[in-house]
Amino acid sequence: MNEAGQARSAAASTTPAVELVSISKAFPGVQANDNVSVSLYSGEIHCLLGENGAGKSTLMGILAGMQQPDSGHIRVAGQEVVITSPRTALDYGIGTVYQHSTLVGALTVVENLILGESRALRLNVSRATERLSEFSAMLGVEIDPNALTSDLALGRQQQVEIIKALWRGSRVLILDEPTSMLTPQAVTELQVVLNRLREAGLAVVFITHKLHEAVALSDRISVLRQGRVIGTIDREQVRESSPDELESAIVHLMFGDTLEDASAPELHIAIEEREPGSAAPADTVVDSDGAAVALELNDARVRGDGSQPGLDGVSLQLRFGEVLGIAGVDGNGQRALAEAISGQRRLTHGQISFLGAPVASLSVWQREKLGLRYVTDDRLGEGIVRSLPVSVNLVLKRIGHAPYWRRGQVKRDAIDRNARELVEQFDIRTPSIDTRAGTLSGGNIQKLLLARELTGEAKVVVFHKPTYGLDLKTTRTVRNMIKGLRDGKAALLISTDLDELLECADRIAVLSRGKVVGIVENGPGAAEQIGRLMIGDVSLGLAAA
């Protein structure tokens, strides 16, 4: 940490730039914030750390004017204020970078920046372009003012977001999960930008659920849990502790008594219907190492969505008994890969073989029946139909097929029996099997999807970001299930979470712009190799494969 910077900012932080005092906010069924008080100081990076659902985003939403607190108040520079809208927040000098982009993709960078800036009729593009270059210089970044924001890389878009939040002279900057969509390199860049902002004397708050980020970036850390601040580690303590001490202190705060419980493999689901040890059908293809090949892609090409890359000649081999990880920054063809394998997207070139037989021309249902399954990342968007009951969602991939339908007519008993079994086996917490699936929590929806895909004759399962947005406990359960597939089956694990890949996968392929740029054996040093491959450091590339 920069000693001079610290000294400078320490002097500035006498009165808090912003104080949130006893904020409470409830939503139907959830107490999102419960008497929360937090103070933000100028020249300081303050981290709000907590698990998903701890109330971090709600708290910052209140400060940013997106939501009104039920009780409590806000002081800006010692003055009590009422923030009724995003506009008032900006007027009080509070700028926000949301987790989801608020940039309008169809507008240029400059247009996005001046959106809502002035009440004048004419747009003043030239002055805005000048200001943009000033900001760029301050942050040490380079941005084309006339590019459409939808054409920019995610890291670049985030820089535009930061500039936008500061555009009207904000002194407080809120960042909501700023690293969730970034490459490791872009995270480093962000770190540089944040340090520059701190040196410029701004109060920066960032929200995260990643421990090491909190430790690496912040001057002060507040830990939230279930809507309450359960502890704040102030700057003296942050400065004096080593990262390891800090981490263990935080872990203690975050999980306290529940940690033991969460780490216990309490839910090991044995995939039934196959006697253990039967690695693969006898007539399967065997690769050069002698292991049976479950799934093989040969120069597979697929179109992407819009400007995103599809697959540009991917060749992969997945053997029985292994978990093959696919690393890469989001939007580099992951979805195309998963959908090409599941049958949702047609190949334009190449072949996919499953158990040695070509399957590229088979439908989703035919592949499903053969035992090739796909657990989608877009659980609500395509995984389930929210308005249908849990029981029907569990047979959604078998509509019209026995035993749930006979001669086109529904057999409810069979559907319900299946549902009761799976709900029990996979521990899906639902009031009943008739409950609409859309009302379940994210974790339970994921369990529903897993139940649907892992039953029957599942042989190879593709997982796409399987623990994204899940709580710690369910995450463990899901990862155990994936690892459990090594027992005679195979899994393709597509994830943007490097830790997850390192934990679960045997080998990790790196996907970049629709190509596999390298395959790394999991082990010491794998993380660094993967990171280099992700940014296109080809010197290392294929040698690792």
Rounded-to-integer distance, Cα 41 and Cα 443, Å: 36
3-state secondary structure 411-463: CHHHHHHHHHHHHHHCCCCCCCCCCEHHHCCHHHHHHHHHHHHHCCCCCEEEE
Give min distance, CB of 523 to other proteins, in A.
Answer: 31
Residue type present at position 16 = P
Smaller CB separation from other proteins, 299 or 378: 378
Tell me which of 22, 133, 348, 439 binds other proteins, using CB under 8 A: 439
Applying CB under 8 A, among 12, 81, 107, 498 the residue interacting with other proteins is 107
Question: Among 27-35, 265-273, 323-331, 486-494, which window interacts with other proteins (CB under 8 A)?
Answer: 27-35
Residue with Cβ nearer other proteins (165 or 533):
165
Q: Phi, psi (5° rounding) for residue 255?
A: -110, -25
| Binding footprint of other proteins, residue count (CB under 8 A) | 93
Verify binding: residue 438, other proteins, rule CB under 8 A: yes
Distance CA 197, CA 213 (A): 17
Under the criterion CB under 8 A, does residue 498 sit at the interface with other proteins?
A: no
Binding mask 256-285 for other proteins (x = CB under 8 A): ------------------------------
Do strands 71-76 and 18-27 pair parallel, antiparallel, or not at all (unpaired)?
A: antiparallel
Burial class of residue 265 (count of CB atoms within 10 Å of its CB; 0-12, 13-18, 19+)? exposed
482 touches 491 (CB < 8 A): yes
**Nearest distance from residue 289's CB to other proteins, in Å?**
34
Contact yes or no for 97/178 (Cβ under 8 A): yes
Q: Is 446 in the site for other proteins (CB under 8 A)?
A: no
Asked if 347 touches other proteins (CB under 8 A), the answer is: no
Q: Which of 170, 219, 176 is nearest to 39 (CA)?
A: 219
Q: Can residue 453 be called a binding residue for other proteins (CB under 8 A)?
A: no
Q: Which of 10, 77, 81, 115 binds other proteins (CB under 8 A)?
A: 115
User: Is 514 one of the binding residues for other proteins (CB under 8 A)?
Assistant: no
Q: Which long-range contacts (CB under 8 A, 24 or more apart) does 530-534 make?
A: 530/327, 530/498, 530/501, 531/183, 531/184, 531/185, 531/498, 533/327, 534/183, 534/184, 534/185, 534/327, 534/328, 534/329, 534/510
Which residue of 20, 83, 114, 510 would you call a contact of other proteins, by CB under 8 A? 114
Q: Residue 179 or residue 512: which is nearer to other proteins going by CB?
A: 179
What is the phi/psi pair of residue 435, to 5°?
-65, 140
Give the footprint of other proteins on residues 366-405 (CB under 8 A): 368, 374, 376, 378, 380-389, 391-392, 396-397, 399-400, 405
- Residues between 68 and 97 that touch other proteins (CB under 8 A): 85-87, 90, 96
Per-residue binding string, other proteins, 403-422, x by CB under 8 A, is --x--xxx-x----------
Interface positions, 208-247, toward other proteins (CB under 8 A):
209
Tokens describing residue 215: 């430790």
Q: Does residue 22 interact with other proteins by CB under 8 A?
A: no
Q: Does 333 bind other proteins (CB under 8 A)?
A: no
- Tokens 């993709």 -> residue: 105
Binding flag, residue 27, other proteins (CB under 8 A): yes
CB of 332 to other proteins, least distance (A): 16
Name every residue whose Cβ is closer than 8 Å to that of residue 112 and which is 6 or more positions away in sequence: 103, 104, 149, 160, 164
